Amino acid sequence: MINKRIILVSKAGGGKDFFRGYLSKFEKLDVSYTTRPSRTGEKEGYTYNYISEFDFISKNNKNYFLEAVNFNGWWYGTSVSNWATKNIFIMTPPGLLTVPKEDLQDSIIVYLDIPIEVRRERLNKRSDADSVDRRILADEKDFLNFELFDIRVTNPLFNPELLYKIILDYSKI
């Protein structure tokens, strides 16, 4: 197990969930909270903790979340307790900006920067609560000038085993 947090960042269809699934064999996964409806195949308590907007805002007002962001009209957040006990996280650039800098120092940020054509094809194949064009436009805005990462992956067919090894080697630096 790695001694740092791994934060996965990607535009929609970039492979975050695929790589998170691979990492689940070795690491402790955060299960974020969201107010968005679940997609086909997603599991409560594994993919996300699905809660109402009222419950999310109530928890956020009580400082339950380390980071909380609104993306495309839905709330997403990482609990303080998970931040202290887990080491695999999925976040957005705006979410990263709300994490205290000292907490990011003990993290490795992996940016899965996959070409738009591949992401569009992947998004068209999945059942989603949002339109493909709306997701792509929102991501372009969120990722404008994004440079807060340690490792950048551009190959849409990346090898998860090799990427995990690269992350483990990077964590020793």
Domain hosting residue 105, numbered range: 5-171
Pairing of the two strands 74-79 and 88-90: unpaired
Residue 59 backbone phi and psi in degrees, to 5: -65, -40
Task: Look at residues 63, 166, 58, 67 and name the one whose alpha carbon lies nearest to residue 110.
Answer: 166
DSSP state of 13: T
pLDDT tens for the chain, 173 residues: list them. Answer: 788 999 999 999 999 999 999 999 999 999 999 999 998 888 999 999 999 999 999 999 999 999 999 988 899 999 999 999 999 999 999 999 999 999 999 999 999 999 999 999 999 987 665 688 888 999 999 999 999 999 999 999 999 999 999 999 999 87
Give the domain CATH number at 95. 3.40.50.300
- Do residues 2 and 89 touch, judged by C-beta distance below 8 A? no
Number of domains in the chain: 1
Distance of CA 53 to the CA centre of its chain: 20
